[in-house]
Amino acid sequence: MAEQADKESKTEEATEKKIRDSLEKGQVPFAKEVSVVGSFLAILVFMIFLAQPGAVELGGFLSMFIERPEAWSLASEHDAVLLYRQVFIEIVKPLVGLMALLIAAGVASSVLQNVPRVVIDRVQPKLSRVSLKEGWGRLFGQKGLAEFAKSLGKLVLAGVVLAFAMRGAQTELLAGMITQPEAFGSVIRDIAIEIVVAITAIMVLIAAIDLLWSRFHWRQDLRMTRQEVKDEMKQAEGDPIMRSRLRSLQRDRARRRMMADVPRATLVIANPTHYAIALRYVREETAAPVVVAKGQDLVALRIREIAEANEIPVFEDVALARSMYSQVSVDSMIPPQFYQAVAELVRVLYTSKAGSGQGRVTS
């Protein structure tokens, strides 16, 4: 009941992160019937292109072996081993192609379904894999029953196809019995190919259904509850409280750095209490004054305090300070529209040589 309730609560489609994590863990949709179809196709290719030449070659060797037994010496144990080895090689040679095709079909069926990846977690030993309870659940759970029904359906379909194929092959078999042995071998091969083709066609249909079902079931298993989606979004974007705290720390750090640059300023333009902009202008450094600090209210008052403590002239210009504050950025040169107004203040500064009179200048 708890498992059913948990599944019912998972109403949201899996996010990209959930799908990516599942793939990285090796939890991928896999249709076993696709591998079975690949095996049947490999057998079909072998029967059409490789079986007859291999059978003819093997038949020629065995006929020579039976017709001329005196050509094979068995005088010693060594001769018997050599004979056994040669016979074994001749029998195995036709099967090498079949094994290679089966291996290639198995690899191709897996690669076409999912991109190969190394997942250490899948090969690590786990007690749950040898647990009787877990094994019982896999055998008689929903997936186990589905696999059993699928296997039973395949067996029934294969039996029906085989029965119909054999009924149609009776006439060919009877006709082949009165022909030469070589021709009868071709008859058997043709009948076998027809049977494999019919079974392969049925398996292609089953594999297509299994492929769609496996991917649908995989998506169903990855579904998430609304709370899981919210938690994942919070984890991806960061906790709002932590984000606010980080922004606050960043602002404090930027403000401290800005205040540390105020003593390098050439002049400060201020609204008496609300705004302050500290500018640095050295002809050899930049083409226009650079904003080293700006602030309003308490920050503006702090900029003025630092400026006065370092004997940096403070020009009080309400309109200019208010206008510049909204249009300039720290560590950037002032916009061209302020060149003339600031140039006038710089000219006043350079013409004023009295150090004691530079603490405050009112324009």
C-alpha angle 327/333/338, rounded to 5°?
55
Contact 243, 249 (CB under 8 A): no
Q: What's the pLDDT score for residue 42?
A: 92
Question: Rounded to whole angstroms, how far apart are CA atoms 262 and 276?
Answer: 11
Residue 310 lies inside a defined structural domain of this protein? yes
Residues 212 and 99 in one domain: yes
Listed in sequence order, the residues at least 6 apart from 339 whose beta carbon sits closer than 8 Å to its beta carbon are 288
Q: What is the pTM of this model?
A: 0.53
Cα-atom radius of gyration of the chain, to the nearest Å? 43
pLDDT, mean of each 10-residue run, the chain (363 residues): 56 82 81 88 88 75 72 76 83 86 89 73 60 63 73 79 72 64 70 84 86 88 85 68 76 85 88 86 85 88 89 87 87 88 85 53 47
Residue 239 lies inside a defined structural domain of this protein? no
Residues 28 and 173 in one domain: yes
Q: What's the pLDDT score for residue 320?
A: 87
Residues 54 and 158 in one domain: yes
Residue 252 lies inside a defined structural domain of this protein? no
Pairing of strands 314-316, 290-296: unpaired
Supply the range of the domain harboring residue 356: 257-362
Residues 123 and 23 in one domain: yes
Question: Rounded to whole angstroms, how far apart are CA atoms 235 and 18?
Answer: 12
Residue 127 lies inside a defined structural domain of this protein? yes
Residue 192 lies inside a defined structural domain of this protein? yes
Q: What's the pLDDT score for residue 137?
A: 63
Residue 332 sits at φ, ψ, to 5 deg, of -125, 155
Number of domains observed in the structure of the chain: 2
Residue 247 lies inside a defined structural domain of this protein? no
Residues 176 and 140 in one domain: yes
Listed in sequence order, the residues at least 6 apart from 117 whose beta carbon sits closer than 8 Å to its beta carbon are 23, 24, 26
Residues 228 and 268 in one domain: no
DSSP 335: P
